[in-house]
Protein backbone atom coordinates (compact mmCIF):
# COMPACT_ATOMS: atom_id res chain seq x y z
CA UNK A 1 0.00 0.00 0.00
CA UNK A 2 1.26 3.47 -0.92
CA UNK A 3 1.61 6.02 1.86
CA UNK A 4 -0.53 9.03 0.91
CA UNK A 5 0.28 11.06 4.02
CA UNK A 6 0.91 14.72 3.27
CA UNK A 7 2.20 17.33 5.72
CA UNK A 8 1.71 21.07 5.63
CA UNK A 9 2.48 24.12 7.71
CA UNK A 10 2.51 27.87 7.92
CA UNK A 11 5.68 29.89 7.35
CA UNK A 12 6.63 29.99 11.06
CA UNK A 13 5.55 26.33 11.63
CA UNK A 14 3.33 27.25 14.59
CA UNK A 15 0.44 25.65 12.68
CA UNK A 16 1.02 22.25 11.12
CA UNK A 17 -1.29 19.67 9.65
CA UNK A 18 -1.23 16.14 8.32
CA UNK A 19 -3.71 14.48 6.02
CA UNK A 20 -4.05 10.86 5.01
CA UNK A 21 -6.46 11.68 2.18
CA UNK A 22 -5.29 11.30 -1.42
CA UNK A 23 -5.03 14.91 -2.56
CA UNK A 24 -5.53 16.50 -5.91
CA UNK A 25 -6.07 18.14 -8.23
CA UNK A 26 -5.17 21.74 -7.45
CA UNK A 27 -7.50 24.49 -8.66
CA UNK A 28 -6.46 28.12 -9.09
CA UNK A 29 -9.04 30.62 -7.82
CA UNK A 30 -8.82 34.18 -9.15
CA UNK A 31 -11.80 35.65 -7.26
CA UNK A 32 -11.38 39.07 -5.69
CA UNK A 33 -11.26 37.63 -2.16
CA UNK A 34 -8.51 35.13 -3.02
CA UNK A 35 -6.55 37.86 -4.80
CA UNK A 36 -6.77 40.09 -1.71
CA UNK A 37 -5.91 37.21 0.64
CA UNK A 38 -2.87 35.99 -1.30
CA UNK A 39 -1.70 38.98 -3.31
CA UNK A 40 -2.24 37.04 -6.57
CA UNK A 41 -4.48 33.95 -6.76
CA UNK A 42 -5.08 30.97 -4.51
CA UNK A 43 -4.17 27.41 -5.47
CA UNK A 44 -5.94 24.80 -3.35
CA UNK A 45 -6.74 21.11 -3.14
CA UNK A 46 -9.74 19.58 -1.34
CA UNK A 47 -9.70 17.12 1.56
CA UNK A 48 -12.30 15.98 4.07
CA UNK A 49 -11.85 17.67 7.47
CA UNK A 50 -12.06 14.19 9.01
CA UNK A 51 -8.69 13.36 7.39
CA UNK A 52 -6.86 16.38 8.89
CA UNK A 53 -4.77 16.25 12.06
CA UNK A 54 -4.07 19.84 13.08
CA UNK A 55 -1.62 21.30 15.61
CA UNK A 56 -1.42 24.94 16.61
CA UNK A 57 -4.04 27.64 16.61
CA UNK A 58 -5.74 28.67 13.39
CA UNK A 59 -7.42 32.08 13.18
CA UNK A 60 -10.57 32.17 11.08
CA UNK A 61 -11.97 35.00 9.02
CA UNK A 62 -15.58 34.69 7.79
CA UNK A 63 -15.14 36.16 4.32
CA UNK A 64 -18.63 35.30 3.07
CA UNK A 65 -21.83 33.77 4.44
CA UNK A 66 -20.86 30.40 3.00
CA UNK A 67 -17.12 30.37 3.68
CA UNK A 68 -14.26 31.16 5.99
CA UNK A 69 -10.50 31.38 5.61
CA UNK A 70 -8.00 29.93 8.07
CA UNK A 71 -4.59 31.46 8.67
CA UNK A 72 -1.77 31.54 11.20
CA UNK A 73 -2.19 34.42 13.63
CA UNK A 74 1.58 34.76 14.02
CA UNK A 75 2.99 34.75 10.47
CA UNK A 76 -0.27 35.33 8.57
CA UNK A 77 0.08 32.33 6.23
CA UNK A 78 -3.19 31.49 4.47
CA UNK A 79 -3.75 27.76 5.01
CA UNK A 80 -7.41 26.79 4.58
CA UNK A 81 -10.66 27.65 2.85
CA UNK A 82 -13.81 26.07 4.27
CA UNK A 83 -17.42 26.16 3.09
CA UNK A 84 -18.88 24.25 6.04
CA UNK A 85 -19.76 21.09 4.11
CA UNK A 86 -17.11 18.89 5.73
CA UNK A 87 -14.53 19.73 3.07
CA UNK A 88 -11.48 21.90 3.62
CA UNK A 89 -9.38 23.30 0.80
CA UNK A 90 -5.68 23.18 1.64
CA UNK A 91 -3.58 25.93 0.13
CA UNK A 92 -1.20 24.01 -2.12
CA UNK A 93 1.71 26.27 -1.22
CA UNK A 94 1.38 25.28 2.44
CA UNK A 95 2.11 21.61 1.68
CA UNK A 96 5.63 20.54 2.65
CA UNK A 97 7.95 18.97 0.09
CA UNK A 98 7.03 17.39 -3.22
CA UNK A 99 3.32 16.73 -3.58
CA UNK A 100 2.95 15.00 -6.93
CA UNK A 101 -0.10 17.21 -7.54
CA UNK A 102 -0.99 19.14 -10.66
CA UNK A 103 -3.37 21.97 -11.42
CA UNK A 104 -6.59 21.21 -13.33
CA UNK A 105 -8.38 24.55 -13.91
CA UNK A 106 -8.74 28.24 -13.20
CA UNK A 107 -11.97 29.44 -11.58
CA UNK A 108 -13.34 32.98 -11.27
CA UNK A 109 -10.94 33.88 -14.06
CA UNK A 110 -13.14 36.84 -15.06
CA UNK A 111 -12.05 38.44 -11.74
CA UNK A 112 -8.30 37.97 -12.33
CA UNK A 113 -5.90 40.89 -12.13
CA UNK A 114 -5.27 42.66 -15.42
CA UNK A 115 -1.50 42.19 -15.16
CA UNK A 116 -1.35 38.47 -16.07
CA UNK A 117 -2.90 35.72 -18.20
CA UNK A 118 -3.09 31.96 -17.70
CA UNK A 119 -0.78 30.40 -20.27
CA UNK A 120 -0.85 26.80 -19.09
CA UNK A 121 -3.62 25.63 -21.43
CA UNK A 122 -5.95 24.66 -18.59
CA UNK A 123 -9.66 25.52 -18.73
CA UNK A 124 -10.53 28.99 -17.43
CA UNK A 125 -14.03 29.42 -16.04
CA UNK A 126 -15.59 32.88 -15.76
CA UNK A 127 -16.88 31.98 -12.28
CA UNK A 128 -17.21 28.52 -10.75
CA UNK A 129 -16.83 25.28 -12.69
CA UNK A 130 -20.52 25.27 -13.56
CA UNK A 131 -20.22 28.55 -15.46
CA UNK A 132 -18.99 29.17 -18.98
CA UNK A 133 -15.35 28.88 -20.00
CA UNK A 134 -13.58 32.05 -21.08
CA UNK A 135 -10.49 32.78 -23.15
CA UNK A 136 -7.25 32.89 -21.22
Give the integer Cα–Cα distance in Å for 108 and 113: 11
Residue 97 lies in a domain: yes
pLDDT at 27 over 90: yes
Q: What is the DSSP letter of 50?
A: G
11 inside domain? yes
Q: What pLDDT does 40 receive?
A: 96
Q: Please check whether residue 96 lies inside any domain of the structure.
A: yes
| pTM of the predicted model over 0.85 | yes
Q: Exposed/middle/buried for 97, CB within 10 Å: 0-12, 13-18, 19+? A: exposed
Percent of the chain beyond pLDDT 70? 99
Say if residue 25 is preceded by a cis peptide, omega within 30 of 0.
Answer: yes
Query: Considering its fold, how many domains does the chain have in total?
Result: 1
44 lies in which domain range? 6-111
Amino acid sequence: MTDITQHGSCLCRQVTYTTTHALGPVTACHCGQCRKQTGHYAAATPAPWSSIELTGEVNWYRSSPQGRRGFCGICGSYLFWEEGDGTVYLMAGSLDGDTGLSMDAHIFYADRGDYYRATDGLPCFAAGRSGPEVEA
